[in-house]
Amino acid sequence: MILTVERLGHLGDGIAQGDAGPIFVSGMLPGEVVEGEVSGDRLLAPKIIEPSPMRIKPPCSHARSCGGCLMQHASDAFVGQWKIDSVKGALAGQGLEAEFLPISISPPQSRRRATLAARRTKGGALLGFHARASDTLVEIPNCQLLHPDLIAAMAGLEDLVRLGGSRSQEIALTVTKSMAGVDIDVSGGKPLDSTLQLALARAVEAHGFARLTWNGETVALRSQPVQRMGRASVVPPPGAFLQATEHGEAALLEAVKTALGPQKRIVDLFAGCGTFALPLAEVAEVHAVEGDAAMMAALEKAARQVAGLKRVTVEARDLYRRPLEPDEFKGVTGVVIDPPRAGAESQVKCLIVAKVPVIAMVSCNPITFARDAKALVAAGYVLEWVQVVDQFRWSAHVELVARFAQPYIGRNTA
């Protein structure tokens, strides 16, 4: 059957119109004419008859086999507009529109954090990403996504898998580039005993890793895996949330600063280890709130070690079960809110009652962002602009910052 791809779905599949409804075509772009055999709602083994002018040669040699990236066959200009349009579409679904600033895209080889899958084999170890929609592991020695420091660590990671992995099941290695070396958090490895712990510690020393956490237990700490946040040096707890790229973190931070403008007292909700709180504390008092007590402890410790910061206070609190109440925002002039994918429906209701003057909302889910934006706009806030940040390059993932302000604050168009 010959089909013309009309649009992309939210996960990056091409969508064409078949006789019985939509047909999904993997790896295609709008406008492309393709041929293949239809099975259910998918076109199998599609052959391109007429390519899109936005199609490019994938920069990575693993693009066909690896499922780590979905959109390497499309130009940056196309992917950037697709991600902007996904946010515009989510807002339109709620009856909203906004000014969009130019997208910020992280460069290739900039991912400082990733979760790799691995398995011990008869001859050694297999380490990499899964093929798309498959349990098959694909090795990625020429990966164009990961930071070179993580690629350089692969041999050492394979040693860890040979020591503590299993041939019968996979283990997961969350690897993070830090200022002191690679920080590794392994789950699903063999149970620790004294022999394994000693062998793993020796491997950490031999390969210059900063820290190794194994099934929740720190077994080796060669040096503190420091992350820089503003002027502060933070040591996140093992497996703690961290923005995917340094470029993306800087872009999000700059957008948050622009959205807030000059402030005296800021509340940072879902603050993590201080991505926004610590840099903002250089110019304003900050109260940081996060559900993970270990992350709050890391933020507080980092803040105490920096001279010249404004007052920083922290609070470990589950904001889904106990959102900050309206009276707790007394004297607060600006709020940063960076919730998980579920959004922050209950917390937004409290912000509306509190009439916080300016809100910088960070989101990784256009759908829940649009839902929460609708509530704010219905309550009288102005959605002034949206900045999309693409730090998950070649994926369907979207992040953004938006400025909401009470009408009397005056428009801030960056």
Closest CA to 61 of 175, 121, 140, 132: 140
DSSP string for 368-406: HHHHHHHHHHHTT-EEEEEEEEE-STTSS--EEEEEEE-
- Phi and psi (nearest 5°) for 164? -125, 10
Q: How far apart are CA 251 and CA 254, in angstroms?
A: 5
Sequence-ordered list of residues with C-beta below 8 angstroms from that of 80, at least 6 positions apart, any chain: 103, 105, 388, 390
Structure tokens of 256?
């948050």
Q: How far is CA 85 from CA 75, 88, 369, 374, 414, in A?
A: 15, 5, 14, 18, 21
Q: How far apart are CA 273 and CA 256, in angstroms?
A: 16
Q: How far apart are CA 95 and CA 224, in angstroms?
A: 48
Sequence-ordered list of residues with C-beta below 8 angstroms from that of 231, at least 6 positions apart, any chain: 278, 279, 282, 306, 308, 309
* Other Cβ atoms closer than 10 A to 154: 19
Q: How far apart are CA 17 and CA 27, in angstroms?
A: 16
Q: How far apart are CA 33 and CA 410, in angstroms?
A: 49
Residue 364 annotated among the catalytic residues of the structure:
yes
Pick the catalytic residue: 69, 143, 350, 364?
A: 364
The catalytic residue positions are 364
